[in-house]
Structure 1
Amino acid sequence: MKDLRLQELLALIYRLFLAFLFYQVARFLFWVFNRDLIKVDSVSDYFKLSYYGTAFDTTAILYVNAVFILLSIIPIMINSRKGYQKFLFYWYFITNGITYAFNFGDMIYYRFSQARLTSAALEVGKHEDNLGKVFWNAVLQNPMIPICFIISIALWIFLYKRVNVKEQKPDQPLVYFMSSIANLSIIATLVVGGIRGDFKHSTRPINLVDANKHVSNPLQANLVLNSVFSFFRTINTNNFKLVHFVDDKFIEKEIAPYKTYEREVEPKPNIVIFIIESFGKEYSGAFNRNTKIKDFVSYTPFFDSLATKSLIFTNAYANGRQSIHAMSSVLAGIPSLTDAFTSSPYSNQKIQSIVSVCNEMGYDTSFYHGAPNGSMGFQGFGNILGFQHYYGKNEYNNDKDFDGIWAIWDEPFFQYYAKNIGKKQPFMSTLFSASSHDPFKIPEKYQGKFRKGPLQIHEPIQYTDYALKKFFETASKQPWYQNTIFVVTADHTNQTYYPEYHKAMNHFAIPILFFSPNPKFNLHGVDDRFAQQIDIYPTLADLIGYNKKIRSWGRSLVSDKNENYIIVNSDSINEQMIIGNYIYTFNGKDIAGIYDKTDLALSKNLLGKSPTAEQKLGMLKAKGWYQDYMNRVINKKLR
């Protein structure tokens, strides 16, 4: 009888050991496929990170295998029978196989999201009906990843079958049952402790932030983590919580959440905002003149030429990691932190934005996106912002121009846009492009027109740049053109080639451009101040002469006022803030790191040294900004 229980326990330990082994295999492969983005200095450093990752693997493996463990040790007298062991085999590999695949999907997804998979992907996915096409395109473009997955599972199955439980019948059922209950109690305690990451009652369960305790570079936290842990740990989580670090007077003075600008503008200008999919700063020559990148190649010839006649900001950052994050940042001045505002329980509230401001001033407001209506969540959030009109694939009504996966090709949709807006003036309109999205294809008729680059995205970026050129050719002939302010920016970054853009902060580096053919707006020059997407809303409110108070964490980039700035984004684990001469990382409770503003790789953490007066104030500002953000989002004070 003892031999029976012992062999069952040893088999269980062996099978769980295999899970740990293959999670380390997945971690290694994740690093191999993303080693240009996650720098590891030495073999010993890699093994150190892998060792720390074991705690997160433990939680993930126990999440997935809790039922399997119970089924393996529950005293039901048939545990060792072949039929029951076969049932356990299938249960083990179905549950582990599905979840293990998360890690392999992230080997592709991480290059775009710059973060481990979280449950926020469910929020994004529910708005799409083309996930099958996206999946198969990803498989075809990255064949080695599914091959590695299949080999790993095949080897896992082979090793699993090397240890079998021999069929036996307990000769003392009562003793067998009682000892099993004791074992079950001990194992249950170990499982709970393993899932929590600690046995201390006073310690909160391990979470994503804890990965940063073991790294010198914040990007390495994604190597410590695994995708199963990050996904399950963020299900039904809500990191929106009221906090209190500073008093209201400090927030009013140092954070200044309300702005007022005084400018008389008549007639009111039209506004056209382009949010270009994946249009990272790296791809544009005009925005890289001072980066000193050897043999730099630009893939945006028209955008570069437009920049010479525009006001451009060469040190600008996105405030989020996904497309929908850009919509709230650019139009409403609301950045996305560890948890996205747009997928939070608080997104459905009245929000002051450039849309509401323009509606108040009598503008005709519209939003254009060539994907099926409702895709990306744009239409729903557009309704919250108050757009009067929405134009998507349905309104375009010509599937001959559909790319087959995401949306209408940029060139024809941009032409539709140029000819459809401006029927009522003044107007404010936003177009969100689509063609520079993965799987990075261009229309068949343009094959060979654009040069191939080292990245897949380089060709479709040139196509979108060409579509933008054709838009301006058509728009310049329209009666509304002369009195229009154009803004061109990106939603987020994407594939990176130059080492400069592998740096942590440069994962958010985007262009921001303001252009108008009307010289009275004086939109020209190169500005190297720090800027961000949430500055676009107050800048436009200033330019159109909205002289009332606005709620904004950004600032007008054309104001004569000497306004303080706090550049904000999140790597999905920590919030990152550029304040004055330093970059601060913040985990919602404490400052996790302080870096010089030139240390975009976040490689030298100054935290722990005696802080300067500026650093002390900067830490308070970071906490104060976060406090005000949470207060306004949770208590519905975004108007």
Structure 2
Amino acid sequence: MITQKIKPFLYLGIFYLIVSLVIRLVFLFHPITTASFSFFEIIKVLSIGIINDIFVFTIASVFLALYFLFLSNSKYDKPYGHIILGILILIFLYILVIPNNIFKQYGGSIAEIALAFIGLKILFFGLMLFLPSKRIQIRNVLYFIILFLYSVIIIFNAVSEYFFYNEFGLRYNFIAVDYLIYTNEVIGNIMESYPVVPLFLSIFAVGLAITFFIYRKTRKELLDLPNLKQKFILLGSFIVLVAVSLLGLSFTTKITSPNVFAEEIEANGLPKFYWAFTHNELDYFQFYPKIDQKLAEKTFLSQYTQPTLTRNITSEQPELKKNVVLISIESLSADFMEHYGNTEKLTPFLDSLADKSMMFTNLYATGNRTVRGLEALTLCIPPTAGESIIKRENNKNKFTTGSVFKSKGYDVKFLYGGYSYFDNMQDFFAGNGYGIVDRDNFKPEEISFANVWGVADEDMAKKAIQVMNAESKSGKPFFNHWMTVSNHRPFTYPDGRIDIPGNAKSREGGVKYTDYSLRKFFEMAKKQDWYKNTVFVIIADHCASSAGDTELPMDKYKIPAMVYSDRFIQPQKFDKLMSQIDVMPTVFGLLNFNYQSKFLGQDVFTKEFQPKAYIATYQDLGFVKDDHLTIISPVRIIRQYSLKQKPGKLSPKFNIYYDENILKDNNQKLVDETISAYQSTSYWLKNNQLNR
């Protein structure tokens, strides 16, 4: 009897394990998986993966177990059936009528979801109560629906994991959590990037076929329902299995490997998603290696001539109140440019502009998300564990590039072609004194093309010229930070601009169209009176992909950056190692600004500058210095790699590829510097010491 009652769990479980195995094999041989695996490594990855899958399915079966637990014929007997129906109706009316009920207090759509659930429960319970002859048929329909939901969710999750891995080379992480929060942009992105209708029809068709198979094999179990004693035995056994699964996952999810891809492939995406959802911000002091706080601060601040957090930046030359336009380009990896070896002519304008600019040839992004790049360019601090400061609650009143410009009498704005509420950008920039110009500021006739991420970059370029013209008439200098959007999946843009069709939906097209839009912007800017008194800073926010053979592959953080100003900035190449957080302090140095600084980045042309870079994911924090990459991770893990540039046809300053060889004996001085940098930054943020 009892063994027969678990047949639905067994069939669904086997189906889930097969699907998970298939997706794991796909990941192993996916082009983005650049690591190689021996036969025994593959066996290890698949074995740990199957164990993870069994644990996850056991936990996910809770809803199916509850369904079977409450299956009963006796609850429809008088007077229990009428009492239960009455209670359900009262709950429905409570949600519907009471204005500040507990469901509405949670906000969002919680109340509507609860109302729909209780309403359906009333409908089916009432039918089974008043139509006892149809009870088995109704129960079969509900059982079929539940099996169908489980089957479709299993397939849908596998498809979602595939597309996520295809994009990032990772299982679910913070980005997947963001995708659930910003559903409008993400659903729009999916609709424009993939053949959604055929895809969903295929998912439902396969789900329906699997449901029919499992339903036919198990529907007889609904004819003879278990008694109360049998239910308690089944429930007790299930609780034990769930407890074992939770305990087991606490161990298997901590299994590490020197091969990053092995860790990702053997993992199950759902626990990783849950972890990311519940760990928006990682407490550095709980998860990372640390040293005495005073020693950490002393070590980190020793790089400055004034070894204090607040420092006076002075210049012997008079200040130059030039306009500054900072253009951060979406997902522009260094290897898209011809300077760095690309042969596809994707960035003809940027390559030509680089030869007329001060080009930083050895600069690294701090992270792999737009908000991390914006954070680096605005706060000029190393990245911290968890989400970017931009997306945290305590993100206002910070010491920013905008606050320095404002102190000099500048008009300060953030320009974005999409809706700036996305990624919390509006909250962050407005909360730090920036004016906002985004899609809400466009008239319909000003938009020649738009997708879910925003108006086309050429439309934003025209709007930017309008904004700057208006600002120049005020008599005040201006600082505008423009974030582009077109080089983002689905990579759609107006036809007829470049030689790659706008509906090709290719990354190369997105890059080339962005380059085209920037050329149009500069053509328009040259005709304006303010052009010759303006400094243009062009830099990527992050690379197009962050997946590689190691936790932090160097080539996936190398980005192009340049400063251009007609007759002011002399063309030159700056080849020393530097970070994204050094860019704006360097610009302030070029303008001879005198100010009190809390920036942790440095002017690269000062004597105190030390070549280094900070690169990170949401949990792996890296420090690059002296041909070493030191990485600290939860839980207090330290890894160090020696860096050796790979041989190539390009000159060393444009060769982005490195061999990263893990060291058995760490360079302790660099380990201490790494810990000091990230610990000090985390401490100062936590205690609001980086506020204005």
Q: Please report the TM-score for the alignment, with normalisation by the length of structure 1.
A: 0.84
Contact 2:495–2:502 under 8 Å retained in 1: no
Structure 1 segment 509-588 matched on structure 2, within 5 A: 509-519=558-568, 521-522=569-570, 524-563=571-610, 565-570=612-617, 572-588=618-634
The structure with the larger Rg is 2
Structure 1 segment 248-259 matched on structure 2, within 5 A: 248-256=293-301
2:273 corresponds to 1:231: yes
Q: 1:441 corresponds to which letter in structure 2?
A: T
2:104 corresponds to 1:49: no
Q: Note the alpha carbon deviations across 1:150-185, whole angstroms, 9 max, x for none.
A: 5764564365346325348779x8xx5335424422
Measure the CA separation in 1 of the matches of 2:155 and 2:658.
Answer: 30
2:642 corresponds to 1:591: no
Secondary structure of 1:401's match? Answer: coil
Match of 1:359 in 2: 406
Measure the CA separation in 1 of the matches of 2:442 and 2:223.
Answer: 70
Q: 1:477 corresponds to which letter in structure 2?
A: K
Stretch deviating more after TM superposition (532-541 or 35-44): 35-44
2:248 corresponds to 1:191: no
Offset, 1:115: 3.7
2:214 corresponds to 1:160: yes
Measure the CA separation in 1 of the matches of 2:144 and 2:222.
Answer: 18
Contact 1:97–1:153 under 8 Å retained in 2: yes
Contact 1:554–1:565 under 8 Å retained in 2: no
Secondary structure of 1:254's match? Answer: helix
Offset, 1:431: 0.7
1:376–1:180: structure 2 CA closer, same or farther, 3 Å change rule? closer
Q: Note the alpha carbon deviations across 1:6-42, whole angstroms, 9 max, x for none.
A: 211344234323222222223333455x433443334
Stretch deviating more after TM superposition (259-268 or 485-494): 259-268
Match of 1:267 in 2: 320
Could you tell me which of 524, 528, 544 is aligned with 1:478? Answer: 528
Q: 2:637 corresponds to which letter in structure 1?
A: I
2:21 corresponds to 1:24: yes
Structure 1 segment 301-450 matched on structure 2, within 5 A: 301-334=348-381, 336-342=383-389, 344-387=391-434, 389-399=435-445, 400-421=447-468, 422-423=471-472, 424-446=475-497, 449-450=499-500
Could you tell me which of 314, 331, 346 is aligned with 1:278? Answer: 331
Q: 1:216 corresponds to which letter in structure 2?
A: P
Offset, 1:566: 4.1
Offset, 1:359: 1.0
Offset, 1:419: 3.9
Contact 1:279–1:510 under 8 Å retained in 2: yes
Measure the CA separation in 1 of the matches of 2:635 and 2:215.
Answer: 47
1:236–1:72: structure 2 CA closer, same or farther, 3 Å change rule? same
Match of 1:489 in 2: 539
Secondary structure of 1:245's match? Answer: coil
Match of 2:665 in 1: 610
Offset, 1:71: 3.4
Secondary structure of 2:458's match? Answer: helix
Aligned residues: 606
Q: 1:163 corresponds to which letter in structure 2?
A: K
Stretch deviating more after TM superposition (158-167 or 533-542): 158-167
1:8–1:81: structure 2 CA closer, same or farther, 3 Å change rule? farther
Contact 2:360–2:574 under 8 Å retained in 1: yes
Measure the CA separation in 2 of the matches of 1:336 and 1:510.
Answer: 16
Measure the CA separation in 1 of the matches of 2:392 and 2:459.
Answer: 37
Measure the CA separation in 1 of the matches of 2:505 and 2:183.
Answer: 26
Offset, 1:477: 2.7
Offset, 1:354: 0.4
Offset, 1:361: 1.6
Stretch deviating more after TM superposition (265-274 or 220-229): 220-229
Q: Note the alpha carbon deviations across 1:193-213, whole angstroms, 9 max, x for none.
A: 313435xxxxxx3586x35x1
Q: 1:272 corresponds to which letter in structure 2?
A: V
Measure the CA separation in 2 of the matches of 1:9 and 1:134.
Answer: 41
Identity %: 20
Match of 2:282 in 1: 240
2:512 corresponds to 1:462: yes
* Higher helix content, 1 or 2: 2
Measure the CA separation in 2 of the matches of 1:35 and 1:549.
Answer: 49
Q: 2:510 corresponds to which letter in structure 1?
A: P
Q: 2:172 corresponds to which letter in structure 1?
A: L
Could you tell me which of 80, 88, 107 is aligned with 2:162? Answer: 107
Match of 1:201 in 2: none
Match of 1:222 in 2: 264
1:479–1:469: structure 2 CA closer, same or farther, 3 Å change rule? same
Offset, 1:92: 4.1
Offset, 1:439: 1.0
Q: Note the alpha carbon deviations across 1:419-458, whole angstroms, 9 max, x for none.
A: 4214143211111111222111221232x63589998111
Match of 1:65 in 2: 61
Q: Note the alpha carbon deviations across 1:73-96, whole angstroms, 9 max, x for none.
A: 678579997765653443244245
**RMSD of aligned residue pairs (Cα, Å):** 3.7
